[in-house]
Structure 1
């Protein structure tokens, strides 16, 4: 599994083993089996034991696991579970301690995907990004809103305004670029029956520089993939730009009513290089 190339990551609760195979067949790029928020405290140990038994029959590097927090009573046992060959990477919630990430990477020898979901995590973002084993940053919007006492999420009948999160989301993108990490993964969109809202959210994240999104329901997979694929208009524009580039051999050129230079040509090549997803 190429962690850097993942665009859609689907959560499934660790205490619902009947959903594991359905999630794996959903079309998502990867499945995150969740031992943390999705599992009540009284069911943590049983869920871990069930997951451990299921992992035995799985091929190497086939799933991701979200463990409980590094300061939780379940952390050590979760960490030991993640040494399984079937675990491709470890998703770390409420990541705030770079030293704990270093320890986790050393013990599991697996890539880490830390959730940035608190003010302290933002303050330590550089150190977290540089910790051993960190492959990509994940944005935990709901916990971040709670930590910062933000007025979010809104009631169900009100639009989900993402404007207050723009500075934080951009910070994750810039930090990832500075430290050579793959583009971060955007927070979940909780309204799993709202395809239009999900599409708009995914496209906004891509404009900011996110490389993918976390999903909470299998039915979000297809709309998310469609939203991330280049649109026909984008492909047509990119083809016009590259045709003009060939004519002038890379010099500045007018395409329609816009001047196009090397960064724009590179953007066009990136669009066409993304390819089409299968239907």
Structure 2
């Protein structure tokens, strides 16, 4: 007899099955492509903020021949309102990337423009402006969107603010609201959700705390900007030994109890608690190791 299932919780498949640690890499640094891919669960090759205007053409040429695993590679193009986007899409058309990230996404039509040029691409929509955050539910509903991500610095800029964080490093209320809004929109439409980068490279405790909160809140991945952040993020998304033991014990008890709610260790267990346990048990399974880079 198998453990009773709540509706929709049986080994759910993410629309963006890349793993928890996604590492940005500037598109004009092809010498780093292999290293980034080897160190992270997936690499985000960047044509936008990580590349200066004078280096955009070189970045397009490098990304067009990157040679990385397409199932573990995302290309971030320039925003829909940018004069650079047309050149990005033209350069990527022969490559036909599997995943494309659209920064500053503000409407479903931004997604339409990309998929018209790159049919079949799964779109990661980065909602990082006031308009984009408010439109997150409509963007998430687009059939080509596989994930939503959010960003605090561009959001504050779009609000004419000056800082996304308080002096103690915590997010301002409006930024926390945007983070929650994008997460809710993504998960309400069964899309994956990616938490924002942590820009303070000296704040290792901050990386850890935010990644742990992201994993517990329902995000499926966190974007990184430095290889040192990757193991911290992976550890944050992996259940602790205690959580793994609890989940497995509870699922065994559920199997013995049969269908319906039951009591276990003085606590009533029903569908939502079982979903938590199944997710923890699933995350405790070892993930396949990415291939090693010859540059390692």
> Which of 49, 53, 69 is equivalent to 2:61?
49
Structure 2 partner of 1:103: 113
Unaligned runs of 5+ in 2: 1-13, 290-296
CA RMSD of aligned residues (A): 2.3
> Which of 133, 146, 158 is equivalent to 1:147?
158
TM-score normalised by structure 1 residue count: 0.88
SS at match of 2:104: coil
Structure 2 partner of 1:19: 32
How far the C-alpha of 1:49 sits from its partner, in A, is 2.5
Q: Distance in 1 between matches of 2:212 and 2:181?
A: 18
Q: Distance in 1 between matches of 2:261 and 2:68?
A: 53
**Pairing of 1:81-230 with structure 2 (within 5 A):** 81-85=91-95, 87-109=97-119, 110-150=121-161, 152-154=163-165, 158-162=167-171, 164=173, 165-181=175-191, 183-230=192-239
Q: Do structure 1's residue 254 and structure 2's residue 266 form an aligned pair?
A: no
Q: How many residues align structurally?
A: 272
In the TM superposition, what whole-angstrom CA distance separates every residue of 1:29-70 from its partner, at most 9, and x where no partner exists?
A: 110111110111122223222333x33x44544521111111
Q: Distance in 1 between matches of 2:94 and 2:193?
A: 25
TM-score normalised by structure 2 residue count: 0.83
Q: Distance in 2 between matches of 1:96 and 1:148?
A: 14
Q: Which has the higher relative contact order, 1 or 2, with Cα contacts under 8 A spaced 6 or more apart?
A: 2
Structure 1 pair 151–9 and aligned structure 2 pair: CA distance change class (3 A): same
Q: Do structure 1's residue 31 and structure 2's residue 43 form an aligned pair?
A: yes
Unaligned runs of 5+ in 1: none
How far the C-alpha of 1:132 sits from its partner, in A, is 4.6
Structure 1 pair 5–85 and aligned structure 2 pair: CA distance change class (3 A): same
SS at match of 2:170: coil
Q: Distance in 1 between matches of 2:143 and 2:271?
A: 35
SS at match of 1:184: strand
Structure 1 pair 261–51 and aligned structure 2 pair: CA distance change class (3 A): closer
8 Å Cα contact 1:189/1:198 also seen in 2? yes
Q: Distance in 2 between matches of 1:22 and 1:246?
A: 44
Q: Distance in 1 between matches of 2:162 and 2:84?
A: 31
Q: Do structure 1's residue 72 and structure 2's residue 82 form an aligned pair?
A: yes
Q: Distance in 2 between matches of 1:217 and 1:22?
A: 11
Q: Distance in 1 between matches of 2:213 and 2:168?
A: 15
SS at match of 1:90: strand
8 Å Cα contact 2:79/2:103 also seen in 1? yes
SS at match of 1:264: helix
